Amino acid sequence: MVYDLIIIGAGPAGYVAAIRAGQLGMKTALLEKKDIGGMCLNWGCIPTKAFLESAKFFARLKTAENLGIDGIDLNKVSFNWTSAKKRSSGIVRKLTAGINFLLKKNGVEVITGEARITSANTISIANRLLETRKILIATGSYPPPLGSDIPAGKLVQVHDLLQMDELPKRIVLVGHGPVSLEIAQFFQLIDHDITVISPAENLLPGVDDYLRQYILKKARGQGIRILENARIKGATDEILQVDNLEIPYDLVINCSWRNGIVPPSDVDLEADANGFIPVDDMMQTRVPGIYAAGDVNGLSYLAHMASAQGVFVVNHIQGVEGSMDLKQCPINIYTVPEVAQIGFTEAEIREKGIEYRIGEFPMSANGKALAEDTAEGMIRILSGKKLGEVLGVQIIAANATDLIAEAAAFMSVEATVYDVARTVHAHPTVAEVFLEAGMDAADKPIHK
Amino acid sequence: MRYIFKFPDIGEGLDEGIIAEWYVDKGQAVVMGQPLVKMETDKVVTDIPSPKTGRIAALYGRVGETIHVGSPLVEYDIEGIEGAAAILEASKPAFEGIKEEGAGVVGTLEVADDSAYLPATHEAEPVQTKSTLHGPRQRALATPVARAMARELGVAIDQVTGTGPAGRVTKADIETYFSRSLKTDPRDAVRVTRDIEDLSGRGSPVTGQDLPVEVKPLSQIRKAIARNMIQSKHNAAHMTVFDEVEVSELVRIRTKYKETFALEGIKLSYLPFIMKAVSLALRQHPVLNSEMDMENSRLIYKKYYNIGLAVDTEEGLVVPVVRNVDRLTIRDIASAVNLFADKARKREITLEDMKNGTFTITNFGSIGGQFAVPVINYPQAGILGIGRMVEKPVVKQGQVVPGIMFPLSLSVDHRIVDGGEVTRFLNRIMEYLGDPVSLIIG
């Protein structure tokens, strides 16, 4: 028996590709050594958002009086990590069950074990040798170990957090991606002492400078200590030596920039030093018939891009032509307030020499945001001067990560600011800021 | 307040126009009566004056876009008028005030019909390609940016194959189509004569490259010239004969009467003499005043001698026609030439002025240059080019004496006439010019 497609890794790239392949009638096997859903579902996107929501609610109780609610004794309010974790696991169970159902429904064979690519058409797993026409590597990524001598038991990986019974008080995070800031935000919201050490010069690479400055200033104001371009020089049980600073700590969490996970293989996938497997525009590796999608190809670290790539590969195998635009991908940061962007950053637009204009609108002039007591932030629409083409959208708002979907939709149909300005938005909604910013770019806003 | 000015009914039964040029920009302050935009319609080119004083808040439509009467043209931001006053202001008729000044809605008129250039005869008026531009067009499925870009690059969007979802034309499709169109064989240029859209934007290999160029859409008149020139070069078999004629006597006579004519306000140039000479020569060589009708295998001899004059204007060449030149006196011809020169300067030449020519004269010598290969004003049989008059030594009765030479370049359609007859025709013209008195004797 020959499979049409064997997918290694059941994360957002792999399982989505498997369902799509099943839907298209391909004989598909999905190989996973641990948990269906991968990092995203089991330790990343979903669980972290679940306990971040608990933390946000906890922090928001402190502002209850603003909304006219008396009688909350903040001395009696406390954050229960065990319960928050339990809630999170419940959500994950529900979602995993859903995926398993969908895989089954679409005839995808799930095989547990560690796979080895033995040729472009064969894979060995659990003492079986599987034959296949195409292979999709969707093995994801992992944070490389920190090269510092941090005492045993004092260093965990981000996915270990969910295994911890108690959260220590003084936390040091090492990393420079959005996840670092999100985890830091979580600890800040539940009143833990938090330091972020970024080995890179800038936290949040790829994020528009305006957004970056805004959110870092905000985070620092909230009490998150951020050290950029910093190195851990040494550590005792109590003190972490960071460059010239001595930081008292209880736990270090490794949120480092991730490396690709190359599956064991007898064919040379030509992975680079960081474990990323190079692919062409069709996500095909240097070995014909073997594709790589998601984190492992190094094109993106985002679950939604991994899923999009997974579907793209299956479509390509089935002869559906198309192309992947990596810039049409929203980047969300789940801080308070949230940050989201899509398209080109201002710096990128300038670098391209495109004449542009910025349409802006503050949340503080939006009725619904004011009513919800979340009127912090703003929206920026960057558009080409000549055609009015929307080139990039940046949002800082309580629910920016949902709002960005509108930008993704109109950018996917190559809308201009005139289209945005013409689109009737329901009132009152936070999304009305699009209308206003669109008008600001096209002509002049009504409410500014 | 905001005020939206709609494209007014400018008469002539026209219900739409094409934006030829914006005189104003967004954000610019304008005063009442100031020209806002140049609109080209089927019949005229006209400036639309501003009905209000204020600041331009928006321009509706780009150059090349068709605007219907009653559609918004310009949005004003008028300061200081708010609330009830604004409502009152908005309800005022647009051209109140301007009419009082007697300026009228339509300012200068300039003929710019597609067929404005060189319509030699009724039979010859080109098969119209207007429908491509004006007719109802099926709206292609396309993204907003693709539409904007197509307008910018002058790409006909319904010609582009869309690769987006449901065949939607995307920005990338326009870019691909455009860059491909730049690579087309230059010989394909012939094809553009049949597609006015194609004339308007692409074809040049320099655009699209990173070279300092400025891209401007073609005016209606330029398009008409381009189409007619290609039509002529494509259909007629061009042949050109050059010669020189000694015109000392003509110079003497012209100098003699110049003053007298000037007293009557008539500028006497050499052109009336040449036109008269040509018209008389045409009567004796009728084939040069004919037109070939290939479809019906016949030659149409015209018994009227209407001489077209190619006149250089800023917008391009126009060819007004002086009628029945053979029957006019030099004085009459001079008056007609003066009138057309004046009209051309004021851009007042009408379509009627350019109809029914039978032969054309192009006087490039007034600017410079001696010989040229003029392009026939198709479907006429010939065109005479007049070069710059020069003094040269000539031999008369065995003696080298100073002479004044007129260089002549005669292009003919070899399908219609052969070399012998052409040379005889040119000789006849030269005889008239060398001995101007014969123009009167006939």
User: For residue range B169-201, what is the model confidence (pLDDT) as tens digits?
Assistant: 999 899 888 888 776 544 444 444 444 444 444
A57 lies in the same domain as A43: yes
Q: State residue B178's pLDDT score.
A: 87
Tell me: pLDDT of A330 over 90. yes
Q: Which residue has the higher pLDDT, A315 or B9?
A: A315
Q: State residue B112's pLDDT score.
A: 35
A133 lies in the same domain as A270: yes
From A210, A230, A254, the end of a domain falls on A254
Q: Are B149 and A387 in contact (CB under 8 A)?
A: yes
Tell me: pLDDT of B202 over 60. no
Interface test with A, best of B26, B76, B145 (most A CBs within 10 A): B145
**In chain A, what residues touch B57 (CB-CB under 8 Å)?**
443-444
pLDDT in tens, B80-91: 766 666 666 655
Pick from A416, A443, A444: which is nearest to B148 by CB? Answer: A416
CA distance A233 to A149: 9
Q: Are A41 and A170 in contact (CB under 8 A)?
A: no
Q: Do B145 and A387 touch (CB under 8 A)?
A: yes
Parallel, antiparallel, or unpaired: how do β-strands B29-30 and B238-246 relate? unpaired
Q: Report chain A residues touching chain B, CB-CB < 8 A.
A: 321, 386-389, 413-416, 418-419, 443-444
Which CATH number does the domain housing residue A386 bear? Answer: 3.30.390.30
Q: Which fold has domain B237-441?
A: Chloramphenicol Acetyltransferase (3.30.559)
Q: Do A414 and B145 touch (CB under 8 A)?
A: yes
The angle that helices B419-434 and B248-263 make with each other, rounded to 10 degrees, is 60
From A214, A235, A254, the end of a domain falls on A254
A22 lies in the same domain as A124: yes
B171: closest CA of chain A, how far (Å): 8
From A224, A254, A284, the end of a domain falls on A254
Interface test with B, best of A328, A355, A387 (most B CBs within 10 A): A387
A131 lies in the same domain as A21: yes
Q: State residue B89's pLDDT score.
A: 60
**In chain A, what residues touch B163 (CB-CB under 8 Å)?**
321
**In chain B, what residues touch A413 (CB-CB under 8 Å)?**
143-144, 168
A238 lies in the same domain as A266: no
Residues of chain B with CATH 3.30.559.10: 237-441
> For residue A168, is it within any domain?
yes
Residues of chain B with CATH 4.10.320.10: 130-227
Nearest chain B Cα to A321, which residue?
B163
Quick one: average pLDDT of B135-146? 71
Nearest chain B Cα to A413, which residue?
B143
Q: State residue B43's pLDDT score.
A: 57
Q: Do B148 and A444 touch (CB under 8 A)?
A: no
Query: In which band, very low, low, confident or very high, does the pLDDT at B153 lie, cut at 50, 70 and 90?
Result: confident
CA distance A344 to A341: 9
CA distance B204 to A205: 42
The number of folded domains in chain A is 3
Domain around A190 = 155-254
Q: What is the pTM of this model?
A: 0.60
What number of other Cβ atoms are within 10 A of residue A61's Cβ?
13
Looking at every residue in chain B, the average pLDDT score rounds to 79
Q: State residue B109's pLDDT score.
A: 32
Pick from B58, B145, B170: which is nearest to A416 by CB? Answer: B145
pLDDT in tens, B48-60: 888 888 888 888 8
A72 lies in the same domain as A135: yes
Query: Residues 6 or more apart from B394 whose CB is under 8 A from it?
Result: B246, B400, B401, B402, B403, B405
Query: In which band, very low, low, confident or very high, does the pLDDT at B136 lie, cut at 50, 70 and 90?
Result: very low
A190 lies in the same domain as A285: no
Parallel, antiparallel, or unpaired: how do β-strands A356-362 and A378-384 relate? antiparallel
Q: Specify the CATH number for B130-227; select among 2.40.37.10, 4.10.320.10, 3.40.50.300, 2.160.20.10.
A: 4.10.320.10
**In chain B, what residues touch A386 (CB-CB under 8 Å)?**
148, 152
Q: State residue A1's pLDDT score.
A: 85
The tokens for B304 are: 């009227």
CA distance A104 to A109: 7
Domain boundaries B2-108, CATH class: mainly beta
The tokens for B270 are: 């050499």
> For residue A326, is it within any domain?
no
What number of other Cβ atoms are within 10 A of residue A30's Cβ?
26
> For residue A150, is it within any domain?
no
A368 lies in the same domain as A290: no
What Cα–Cα distance (Å) separates residue A6 from each residue in A3, A185, A314?
7, 39, 11
- Catalytic residues of A, by residue number, are 427
Tell me: pLDDT of B102 over 60. no
CA distance A102 to A7: 16
A190 lies in the same domain as A249: yes
pLDDT in tens, A350-378: 999 999 999 999 999 999 999 999 999 99
Beta strands in B148-293 (DSSP E): 238-246, 290-293
> For residue A180, is it within any domain?
yes
Nearest chain B Cα to A390, which residue?
B145
pLDDT in tens, A72-105: 999 999 999 999 999 999 999 999 999 999 999 9
Q: Do B148 and A413 touch (CB under 8 A)?
A: no
Quick one: average pLDDT of A299-327? 89
A278 lies in the same domain as A248: no
A12 lies in the same domain as A26: yes
B88: closest CA of chain A, how far (Å): 22
CA distance B154 to B195: 12
Which CATH number does the domain housing residue A125 bear? Answer: 3.50.50.60
Residues of chain B with CATH 2.40.50.100: 2-108
A35 lies in the same domain as A123: yes
A107: closest CA of chain B, how far (Å): 28
